[in-house]
């Protein structure tokens, strides 16, 4: 297994070994079944490219009870592992993932670009650092001829308290050149990944900077939406799916593919269905956004709400309220 973890950009502190107490952990014996199971991908999939799924987990009370490990594992089993399946003549496998979060002014990013052990689960990395907002990208690529290792994996970028990730891979040459010309030097010098996803993220930061919102104070959600709209307008007419967060606000550009919203349970929470009037009065603690690059399933999940395309923000303290940019 190849794994690299980047510590926050601050003086290093003594690190403690993560706890090995894995409560509410599904049996390891079930994992290979999930990885092997699945449906055919839609015919739009091109056999020789890698594809990426995105996740955002918002938590209004990150110091509260832990998220239900079994629920999250089941959700990924259904919407990721079973979707990473064989297309006609092009077997796919989950090659790796990248997870990032923001806690205060610190950013934490961990990358596993290539995972060879099918029993390594992404849930452990997702839940390792409780945070108001966690972003993740999962990379799937053809399984034969080590082709997945020749594709640049989608990884999270970061700058100061911001993290971001884009699902699509490469930009065309003209768009790439135009974005580079519009990124200020101080942002360009901070590049660490050197890929197009980081360039798009930096163009968003440049729009924040132009609005005077990249300083020490948190950017208002409406300013985040305007910066995202400015960035989206430069990326042409194809699919654009971008997630950014400063820990307080999640910003999303969604164009193409399928975006679902879940309300995840915490450990020990009741599984009993709430009455409609009780659910309306409830104050949900968190929400989970899941982006799939393919079309919606023929049988939509009854536990998820499909989110319409557009530019929007969600605040961590109000994880079910979506603020949209004007069309």
Per the DSSP assignment, residues forming a β-bridge with 162 are 159
Query: How far apart are alpha carbons 142 and 127 in whole angstroms?
Result: 28
Q: What is the DSSP letter of 87?
A: B
- Record the pTM: 0.79
Q: Which two tokens stand for residue 194?
A: 């050197």
Taking residue 308's Cβ as centre, other Cβ atoms within 10 Å add up to 9
CA dihedral 78, 5, 209, 224 (to 10 degrees): 20
Q: How far is CA 227 from CA 36, 70, 199, in A?
A: 41, 37, 14
Beta bridge partner(s), residue 254: 241, 310
Any idea where the domains of the chain sit in the sequence?
2-7+34-270+277-324
Nearest CA to 294 out of 134, 155, 140 is that of 140
- From first to last of its 327 residues, the chain has per-residue pLDDT tens of 444 444 444 444 444 444 444 333 333 333 322 223 333 333 333 334 578 999 999 999 998 888 999 999 999 988 888 888 644 456 678 888 999 999 988 999 988 878 777 677 889 999 999 999 999 999 988 765 444 444 556 789 999 999 999 999 788 999 999 999 999 999 988 877 778 999 999 999 999 999 999 987 899 999 999 999 999 999 988 999 999 999 999 999 999 999 999 998 877 654 444 443 444 445 678 999 999 998 887 777 788 999 999 999 999 999 999 999 987
Contact 154, 164 (CB under 8 A): no
Q: Compute the distance between CA of residue 285 and CA of residue 263 in angstroms, rounded to an integer.
A: 8
Retrieve residue 321's tokens.
């309220």
Torsion (CA) 178, 181, 182, 186 in degrees, nearest 10: 150
CATH fold for domain 2-7+34-270+277-324: 3.60.20
């Amino acid at each position: 297994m190849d794994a690299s973890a980047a510590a926050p950009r601050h003086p290093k502190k003594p690190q403690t070994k993560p706890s090995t107490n894995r409560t509410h952990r599904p049996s390891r014996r079930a994992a290979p079944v999930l990885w092997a199971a699945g449906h055919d991908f839609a015919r739009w999939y091109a056999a020789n490219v890698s594809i990426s799924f995105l996740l955002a987990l918002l938590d209004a009370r990150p110091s509260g009870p832990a998220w239900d490990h079994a629920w999250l594992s089941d959700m990924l089993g259904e919407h990721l592992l079973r979707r990473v399946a064989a297309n006609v003549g092009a077997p796919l496998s989950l090659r790796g993932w990248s997870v990032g979060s923001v806690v205060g002014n610190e950013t934490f990013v961990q990358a596993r670009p290539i995972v060879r052990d099918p029993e390594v689960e992404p849930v452990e990395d997702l839940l390792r650092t409780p945070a108001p907002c966690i972003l993740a990208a999962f990379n799937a690529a053809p399984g034969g001829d080590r082709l997945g290792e020749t594709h640049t994996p989608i990884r999270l970028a970061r700058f100061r308290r911001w993290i971001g990730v884009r699902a699509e891979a490469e930009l065309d040459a003209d768009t790439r050149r135009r974005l580079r010309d519009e990124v200020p030097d101080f942002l360009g010098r901070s590049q660490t990944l050197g890929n197009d996803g980081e360039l798009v993220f930096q163009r968003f930061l440049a729009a924040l900077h132009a609005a005077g919102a990249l300083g020490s104070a948190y950017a208002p959600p409406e300013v985040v939406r305007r910066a995202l709209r400015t960035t989206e307008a430069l990326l042409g007419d194809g699919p654009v799916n971008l997630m950014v967060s400063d820990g307080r606000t999640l910003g999303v550009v969604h164009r193409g593919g399928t975006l679902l919203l879940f309300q995840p349970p915490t450990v020990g929470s009741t599984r009993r269905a709430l009455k409609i009037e009780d659910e309306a009065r409830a104050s949900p603690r968190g929400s989970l956004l899941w982006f799939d690059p393919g079309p919606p399933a023929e049988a939509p999940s009854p536990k998820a709400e499909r989110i319409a395309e557009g530019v929007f923000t969600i605040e961590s303290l109000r994880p079910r309220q979506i603020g949209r940019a004007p069309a």
